[in-house]
A and B are shown apart, each in its own frame.
Chain A
Amino acid sequence: MNEAATLPEFKPADYKTDLKPVWCAGCGDFGVLTGLYRALTELQVKPWETVVVSGIGCSSRLPGYVDTFGVNSLHGRALPLAAGVKVVRPDLTVIAVGGDGDGLAIGGNHFMHAARRNLDVTYLIMDNEIYGLTKGQAAPTTPTGDKTKSTHYGNPEPAVDPCELAISFGATWVGRAFSGDLKGTVELMVKALSHKGFAFLNVMSPCVTWRGDDLFKTLKAKQRQLPENHDASSRAAALIYTRETEFMTTGVLYDVSEPTLLDRLAAVKVTALAGKPQPTVADIISSFQPSF
């Protein structure tokens, strides 16, 4: 047996571009990026058959660092682009990435509808609870009372839990990871990427510049795994692990199998044709010429 044939085709380095990340030293996003290289390697995804799409923000620079096809699009708009890619090219692996502000504030509407449609993409939010690129303003995930550059007297607004939103929007796979836990992050990314339908993974990815140096330590202390007997097919059970204050539970909160957008669109094509041959444009045109 030829030993070379048993070796995996792609190594983590094969998914890496020459571009050096713009992120600050110690940024949680490094862990996400490394995790993604490893997850892609584990799944042996062909780089040229993969598209990574992002919006705008620190974390949205990620597609530039992954040597697959990539689009760093506009603020909040990763999911619409991902939808367009996936609907016309079901053969591709499509990953949407971005920050919490990108996905939950300006892009919140798209998040709801991509989840509702069960669009067959993996959506990773790198949740740092802050607007990092614009230098430290409050995000929808910033805890109430926290002082930021735009909440000098303490954040007057309640925060959202992205996983809770994803579950209620209709995502069919929802997980929470912590970028300080690389092994766990890779495992969850592999599961998310393997899911058929809309898979949402919220990766807690601390911002050391605007949220303090010790956030890694704090989150590490708060991290706990889901109990062994957690019923991921139950929405109610999944919601128990949202809006947590004392803990940060990581793992697959929710995982169900439902027809995806692509399944439904394929069915639409069959219904539309009703067993008849595909029409030509000339057929359509002639239907506008009265023939009675």
Chain B
Amino acid sequence: MPKRDITIAMVGAGGDGIVTMGDVLSQAAARDGLNVLKTEAYGPQIRGGESSCVVRLSADPIYESGDGVDALIVFSWADFSRFKGECTPAKNAVVLSDEADPVARTPEDLGLGADAVWIKLPFGKLSTDSGAKGSKNLVGLGVLTALFDLPVDTLRRAVVSRFGRKKAAVGESALKAFEAGFLLGQTLPPMPERRLGFTPGPAKLIMSGNEATAIGALHAGCRYFAGYPITPSTEILMFLDEWLPKMGGSLSQTEDELSAIGAVLGASFAGEKAMTATSGPGLSLMTEMLGLASMAELPCVIVNVQRGGPSTGLPTASEQSDLFQAVYGGHGDAPRVVMAPSDVEDCFHTTVDAFNIAEEYQIPVIVLSDQLVAQRRETFDPASLVHAVRERRLPSPEELTDYHRYRETPDGVSPMARPGIKGGIYQTNGLEHDEKGSPGSGFLLHEKMNAKRYRKLRPIRDAYTFHRRYGPQDADIGILCWGSSKGVVREAVQRANARGQKVAAFVPQMIYPFPKKELEAFLKSVKHILVVELSYAAQFYKYLRTFVDLPAERTHVYKRSGGKHLTVAEVDAEIVALLAAERVSEKVSA
């Protein structure tokens, strides 16, 4: 019986076209309606150097990169060794390597079992013979297509579309290399049980989290972006640099992150929906201005794509350790909103919500994305990108007759004039100020205005309880996680329930103000609590404890540093161990 889900890893040197190979494969799969999840990894070199790409294809919904690599194609073992732990083949994997590779590897080196298949092929030679030099990647793709019964016609079109865009001849030559590989693949012993079986469906969207974030911003009406390049958020800046001017908007690449958020606040003051995007070190710099946005009640969206920290840390790796900085960072009592997308599609919706909240409540909103969701590519249904857009409240003509920028209101939101509105003139500042905006340092005023600013969080908490719950209602284990951990946890939950174990999960996308009631209900419905996060200091666990009591006797924390993506196997092992321990303790008490 064919498989419905396969994971293919590709590894090579710079120039081997690993990234292109993964792109063509995932584009073709998305075209035929398969679910695709693609991650890439590179060496530290600026240009060239080793690269790897893992593409998971499935006829069923998938939420993470896949635990085991079913097919590994390696053009250079020397480069493979740099991705230790990232492209580990499954015990029964199919391994394809170049027979001309001077570096030798054994099945034992790779931990392969008896049912693994290893085929050495003349990738380099075939590429040269096909007339398209340097097309090992396409030869390899052809072999994979034949071996795993991938949709060959769609792949042919994907190759031509990718290479023939500018010159038809280049497309034809690329296709020849692909066909050479495909022919070779057909001569290999067939492996029917390893083939991918699926029925093609309508084309899906395929994009990265950073792209989805940028598109979400445009959809929300953002027409100004200011930013400073920083990995792994830079794609947002580059994407908007291409599209904002076409949409009538503008982008500023500023001299630093202080200036980026400053310009965003200036644009917001002037009446425009504005955003910046950065990563941990940049958010550190932006923190002073976050306080001003909170104090002066200036709407703005700050996307923080987390990477390993502190300091320069691990710029290209994911971690969930900016939680405290996002929620608590800065001096003074500065209300802000923090949201966390948990997959690529979420990046779109979270960003639109972030703008809606920022504009409606005149408050800074941080979108805590992370390297994993930001840079991986995922497929989803085009129809899902629908999201209502909300606008800033401008003063009415009556309100303009005696305009008070920070007028006390039941929900704390005061109508916000913009320059050009005749009766709406006001001067704002980072000093404590009265309802008119005039500076004042009295205790009573400070208390009153703090209360006004914090009051805005209440309606936000009531209206935005964005979270997800997976698994049965009365579970033995309830997992708490956030952000990109969701994919892995969701699959671990499925796996456990398929085994007959009752495991559920609660994943908040709204981080602050926290959906406390929803969490309390979840905690009541589960026996044991398992917190899963990529933060050495267990920031999420500590943060949750500020809202709910997590009794030590029924709470277990699985946390570690980032730098390597969380895997289903890790979470699964925790589930198994926790359930085993529970059985032991039940026996003891009996």
State the A residues within 8 Å of B (CB). Answer: 17, 19, 47-53, 56, 61, 63-64, 66-74, 76-77, 79-89, 91-92, 109-110, 112-113, 265, 268-269, 271-273, 278-279, 281, 284-286, 288-292
Q: Which of B309-317, B428-436, B494-502 contacts A (4 or more CB under 8 A)?
A: B428-436
Assuming the contacts A48-B420, A83-B266, asked whether A71 and B203 have C-beta atoms less than 8 A apart, the reply is no
- Chain B residue contacts of A110, Cβ below 8 A: 255, 258-259, 262
Contact A53 B266 (CB under 8 A): yes
Q: A8: shortest Cβ distance to chain B, in Å?
A: 18
Contact B266 A81 (CB under 8 A): yes
Q: Which of B142-182 contact A (CB under 8 A)?
A: 154, 157-158, 160-161
Per-position 1/0 for B259-282, Cβ under 8 A of A: 111111111111110100000000
Contact A69 B256 (CB under 8 A): no
CA distance A79 to B260 in the complex (A): 11
Specify which of A48, A61, A77 is in contact with B424 (CB 8 Å cutoff): A48
Residue of A nearest to B438 (CB): A19
Contact A67 B425 (CB under 8 A): yes
Contact A73 B429 (CB under 8 A): yes
- Chain A residue contacts of B262, Cβ below 8 A: 73-74, 77, 79-81, 83-84, 110
Contact B206 A85 (CB under 8 A): no
CA distance A88 to B251 in the complex (A): 10
Assuming the contacts A110-B259, A268-B245, asked whether A84 and B270 have C-beta atoms less than 8 A apart, the reply is yes
Contact B419 A77 (CB under 8 A): no
Q: B288: shortest Cβ distance to chain A, in Å?
A: 6
Contact B430 A273 (CB under 8 A): no
Contact A64 B439 (CB under 8 A): yes
CA distance A113 to B427 in the complex (A): 26
- Chain B residue contacts of A51, Cβ below 8 A: 269-270, 419
Contact B289 A74 (CB under 8 A): yes
Contact B203 A289 (CB under 8 A): yes
Q: A36: shortest Cβ distance to chain B, in Å?
A: 14
Q: Can you list 23 A-B contacts (CB < 8 A)?
A: A48-B421, A49-B420, A51-B269, A69-B424, A69-B427, A71-B428, A73-B262, A74-B430, A77-B289, A80-B260, A83-B259, A86-B266, A88-B223, A89-B419, A89-B420, A92-B270, A278-B248, A284-B218, A285-B205, A286-B382, A290-B27, A290-B161, A292-B157
CA distance A292 to B158 in the complex (A): 7
Residue of A50, A56, A74, A109 ringed by the most chain B CB atoms within 10 A: A74
Contact B265 A81 (CB under 8 A): yes
- Chain A residue contacts of B264, Cβ below 8 A: 84
- Chain B residue contacts of A80, Cβ below 8 A: 254, 258-263, 266
Q: Which of B25-82 contact A (CB under 8 A)?
A: 27-28, 30-31
- Chain A residue contacts of B428, Cβ below 8 A: 70-72
Residue of B nearest to A265 (CB): B250
Q: Is B243's CB within 8 Å of the partner chain A?
A: yes
Q: Which of B238-254 contact A (CB under 8 A)?
A: 242-243, 245-248, 250, 252, 254
Q: B435: shortest Cβ distance to chain A, in Å?
A: 14
Residue of B nearest to A70 (CB): B427
Residue of B263, B289, B439 ringed by the most chain A CB atoms within 10 A: B263
CA distance A52 to B429 in the complex (A): 11
Specify which of B203, B263, B439 is in contact with A290 (CB 8 Å cutoff): B203
Contact B255 A113 (CB under 8 A): yes
Contact B205 A288 (CB under 8 A): yes
Residue of A nearest to B246 (CB): A272
Contact A84 B268 (CB under 8 A): yes
Contact A68 B263 (CB under 8 A): no
- Chain B residue contacts of A73, Cβ below 8 A: 262, 265, 292, 429-430
Contact A47 B425 (CB under 8 A): yes
Q: B300: shortest Cβ distance to chain A, in Å?
A: 10
Q: B96: shortest Cβ distance to chain A, in Å?
A: 25
Q: A169: shortest Cβ distance to chain B, in Å?
A: 12
Contact A87 B427 (CB under 8 A): no
Assuming the contacts A53-B266, A87-B263, A281-B215, asked whether A74 and B425 have C-beta atoms less than 8 A apart, the reply is no
Besides the known contacts A77-B262, A83-B254, 6 further A-B residue pairs in the complex with CB atoms under 8 A apart:
A51-B269, A72-B427, A81-B263, A83-B263, A265-B250, A290-B30
Contact A48 B419 (CB under 8 A): yes
Assuming the contacts A71-B296, A77-B258, asked whether A88 and B270 have C-beta atoms less than 8 A apart, the reply is yes
- Chain A residue contacts of B270, Cβ below 8 A: 51, 84-85, 88-89, 92
- Chain B residue contacts of A49, Cβ below 8 A: 419-420
CA distance A110 to B255 in the complex (A): 7
Per-position 1/0 for B210-223, Cβ under 8 A of A: 01000100110001
Q: Is B21's CB within 8 Å of the partner chain A?
A: no
- Chain B residue contacts of A52, Cβ below 8 A: 427
Specify which of A48, A74, A289 is in contact with B382 (CB 8 Å cutoff): A289
- Chain A residue contacts of B205, Cβ below 8 A: 285, 288-289
Q: B59: shortest Cβ distance to chain A, in Å?
A: 17
